[in-house]
A and B are shown apart, each in its own frame.
Chain A
Amino acid sequence: MSLREIWSGRRGKRTGAASPTSRSGTGRAGSGPVVQMTGICMDFPGGRALDEVSLTLHAGEVHALMGGNGAGKSTLIKVLTGVHAAADGQIVVDGRSRTFSGPADAESAGVTAAYQETFLCTNLSIGENVMLGHEIRGLLGIDWVRTRQRAGSVLAELGIDDLDPRLPLSGLSPASQQLVSIARAMVSAPRVLVLDEPTSSLEAGETARLFQVLDRLRSQGVAIVFVSHFLEQVYTISDRMTVLRDGRVVGEFLTRQVERAELISTMMGSSLQALQEIGSQRRDHRVEPSDQPWYRAIAVAQQGALEEVDLEIYGGEVVGLAGLRGSGRSTLGRLLSGASRSDSGTVEIGGQAIRLHSPAHGLAHRLAFAGERRRHAGLIEELTVRQNVLLALQAMRGWRTPVARGEVDALLGHLLERLDLDAGAADATVGELSGGNQQKVLLARWLAIRPRLLVLDEPTRSMDVAAKVHVQAQVAALAREGVSVVFISSELDEVVRLSDRIVVLKDREVIGEISNGPGLSVDTIVEMIAADRDEF
């Protein structure tokens, strides 16, 4: 059953006559935009978030919303979906002016959104998450059999019919959860579907599958808003794009008419050159393991997540961990830093075996782990940036040694400057910051303790190009100062650009280790992963 059939079935019940063709009829025919937002203004305590922003969405088009961190993309889509009320401006849906009182209100007007997977309910089943608020009711309240069937058919339409709606959501990978989130948004058969960074936790194959679904929805006349940092994806899927910068619209293009270079410079100016510079700088400062490694992990493992691994780390070295999501790369990072406890083996620092049972032990040896899910690992959203940075420092020194205010100010000023964060951000709560800036604060938090080993798990996830450049430059700078960095990223080009040595993982095992050099490229690693076969 296709989604359209599900919809028409649903509509048929109400109107008596289903007309499956009416939807595509209103599609590309161009009978006027589905949504027209004009003059949207929005103020936040920190200042103006949106300034006279306009956005026009057409049926049967994928509209990309582009812009750097803090450009106002998230705020704009939250106004469109009724989460925020705009201070000024007009939203016209299907020719009617609307004021949305909340997401439910926007949904009844045909506008729904799939947010990042962290905004699902991990305590409920997959099916319940998909159907929350749309459960099918019979004479005895919710009819769970039909509700589950419906959830199953919506999931099937998205190509994820392998998920049993009855299983708990918490057992799914972030990627699958993201698809569940999209399925949820599709349940009410929206005319406008907003996707906020839908691919940030997906692997290439999963992204391709998502795009097939979007293609189908587009041909059915749904207007799709696609927010993403991945340029190539935007070029693959979108028909039209609106570019935001500092809360203003700085351009609207047809995707096929705009060059990548032009788009990037519209978004943020010239950062591309900086990226190339990092690569060449890293190559100049490449560390050849000379004397003794200061850090040695021997046969560390975690049951069910990672087979035994030996790893040596030298000072000032960047070790990249490459592998697919779920290959054990995050687990290895956690074990190295003490964020997780190893089931076996030992860790030696300077030839001495150390106790590494908890993050506190890791901190005592200045081993830090900056996790992938910043919401869960490392940042407390209710506290200010200053307090978050302070926490790590205080945790290392112990509660008996107070940290002087002046010392914190100096350190914070230094860190903010280093990470290219606004100095005024120090006293903002972390929850108020955009995703990319939160990632920077997480990094600042760990840099504050001046680590000897810093494990970065997806440090550039959901960052724009400019912020990515900045973080990569920071990693390079840290290595120059003698810090050892373990760098984990899904984006292999980052790993190749930064690392001195690359450890390749597959299926919870290390399958090889390569020294970086001129001959090494992303393809080398991809081939290595592809060529490795289990031998029985």
Chain B
Amino acid sequence: MSTTTQQPQRRLLTSLADTIRSFVSGSRLLRLNAAAMPTAAALLIFVVLVTFGQVQYGGIVELGTISSLFINNAYLIILAVGMTFVILTGGIDLSVGSVVALSSVAGVMLANAGVNPWIAVLVMIAIGTVMGLLAGVLVDRFDVQPFIATLATMFLARGLASMLSTTPERLEADSAILGIATRLTIYDGPGVNDLVVPPSVIIAILTVVVAYVVLHRTRTGRTAYALGASEQSARLMGLPVARTRVLVYVISGSLAGLAAVTYTARLGSAQNVTGIGWELNAIAAVVIGGTLLTGGAGYVLGSLIGALVIALMNLLIIRDGSIPPESTTIITGGMLLVFVLLQRLVIARRRKG
């Protein structure tokens, strides 16, 4: 009797042990695996960037700074995760910025109209799901190029957001949605140097973890990678090509909805012009993180690093203080370019060595 009750636990334990073992052997393989090198390079350069910031300006490697880095960029991390799925299959999703606008305006208006805030949150995510589904069906069933399909849904979402409202919509001060951005102090350091983790950051981190599991431990995830290599091969292998291709856009759309939730909670308001250009930030984060724009190679953990790199660059520009705010985009763009070139250099060195 006791053996039958112990069996599931036993199986869970062996499964866990296997997982750990495969992680360990996986990291050993990093040295062999060419596909992991861009991401490893991203990590290396991120560390360099942190060190540079710490030496030059100080106050980077501090709990307070790290906390605000995550708090201010939770939405970008979530968007980058969604974008990773799409780019891995060789597609692109240009609609996420507009979807954030539509979703957040609609959510705030619903909440203010007296709808249960949690239902409003679900609707916000669902709006993203529907926009993603639309894009996915356009791409898969109607063979529309991802660039065009998501350009169309981008205009659609932006237009719908503007039809809802063209003025900032404020959440009522007692709205439960604001709770998602409540600053929970985990560790009370000296002065303002606290470790602060609001639910939105936890959501962002969970998104990364779940995405990692989906991409590396489910057949759907592996199909996404296969699709990025060659659609024809994936089809001949009998993999569920159509389902997966629609699904990645649904994931990206839904995560855009989720990003809208965390962003709205932090800001307390929503506007139809929110999120212009965010899709490009998300794409930049994914590319910096080492995912190939042509699909098939990359890691969602790299996208997290990519998002942090962008966030850190913006932070350093502010810290520097001498840079006029008008020119920040030039510097961001220039640093992005330098970053990607550095990545190429690191990879080239590794290949030779």
Contacts and interface: CB of A to CB of B under 8 A. Distances in A.
Interface of A: 82-83, 102-107, 112-113, 115, 119-124, 128, 132-133, 135, 137-146, 166-168, 170, 184
Contacts, number: 97
Nearest to A108: B238
A141 B33 contact: no
Nearest to B217: A141
B172 interface: no
Contacts of B35: 123, 168
Contacts of B213: 140-141
B219 A139 contact: no
- Central interface residue in A123, A128, A137, A168, by most chain B CB within 10 Å: A123
Contacts of A107: 238
Interface string B18-48: 1101100110010011110000000000000
Given A107-B238, A123-B297, A132 B226 contact: yes
B346 interface: no
B237 A132 contact: yes
B229 A121 contact: yes
Given A132-B222, A143-B18, A166-B32, 19 more contacts: A103-B235, A103-B238, A107-B238, A121-B225, A121-B230, A121-B233, A121-B296, A123-B225, A123-B296, A124-B225, A124-B229, A132-B223, A133-B223, A139-B15, A140-B213, A141-B216, A142-B217, A142-B219, A170-B34
B58 interface: no
- Central interface residue in A113, A115, A133, by most chain B CB within 10 Å: A133
Given A138-B18, A143-B18, A104 B238 contact: yes
5 contacts: A123-B297, A124-B229, A132-B222, A135-B219, A166-B25
Contacts of B233: 119-121
A142 B216 contact: yes
Contacts of A123: 35, 225, 228-229, 296-297
Contacts of B22: 144-145
Nearest to B33: A168
A390 to B, nearest CB: 24
A141 B216 CA distance: 9
A184 B223 CA distance: 15
Contact of B237 (A133, A142, A166): A133
A124 B219 CA distance: 13
Given A133-B223, A138-B15, A168-B35, A102 B238 contact: yes
A128 B219 CA distance: 11
A138 B14 CA distance: 10
Interface string B288-325: 00000000110000000000000000000000000000
A159 B329 CA distance: 58
Contacts of B235: 83, 102-103
Given A121-B230, A121-B233, A167-B32, A133 B218 contact: no
Contacts of A168: 32-35
Contacts of B11: 138-139
B240 A104 contact: yes
Given A123-B35, A140-B217, A132 B229 contact: no
Given A142-B219, A145-B21, A145-B22, A124 B226 contact: yes
A103 B22 CA distance: 31
Contacts of B56: none
Contacts of A124: 222, 225-226, 229
Interface in B1-26: 11-12, 15-16, 18-19, 21-22, 25-26
A133 B217 contact: no
Nearest to A113: B236
A166 B21 CA distance: 14
B217 to A, nearest CB: 3
B336 to A, nearest CB: 24
A103 B34 contact: no
B51 interface: no
Contacts of B229: 121-124
4 A-B pairs with least C-beta separation: A141-B217, A103-B238, A104-B238, A121-B229
B134 interface: no
Contacts of A112: 238
Given A140-B16, A143-B18, A121 B218 contact: no
Contacts of A144: 18, 22, 26, 217
B49 interface: no
Contacts of A170: 34
B234 interface: yes
Contacts of B32: 166-168
B232 interface: yes
Contacts of B12: 139
Interface in B232-249: 232-240
A120 B225 CA distance: 12
Nearest to A121: B229
A170 B297 CA distance: 13
A107 B222 CA distance: 19
Contacts of B34: 168, 170
Contacts of A138: 11, 15, 18
Contacts of A139: 11-12, 15
A149 to B, nearest CB: 11
A54 B33 CA distance: 47
Contact of A145 (B18, B29, B216, B234): B18
Contacts of B238: 82, 102-107, 112, 133
A500 B205 CA distance: 68
Interface in B248-303: 296-297
A478 to B, nearest CB: 34
B348 to A, nearest CB: 15
B276 to A, nearest CB: 33
A66 to B, nearest CB: 22
Given A143-B15, A167-B32, A168-B34, A104 B239 contact: yes
Contact of A140 (B19, B25, B222): B19
A133 B219 contact: yes
A31 to B, nearest CB: 28
Interface in B101-133: none
Contacts of B217: 140-142, 144
Given A121-B229, A121-B230, A135 B222 contact: yes
B229 to A, nearest CB: 4
Contacts of A145: 18, 21-22
B234 A121 contact: yes
Contacts of B19: 140
Given A103-B236, A140-B15, A142-B219, A166 B29 contact: yes
B225 A119 contact: no
A120 B236 CA distance: 9
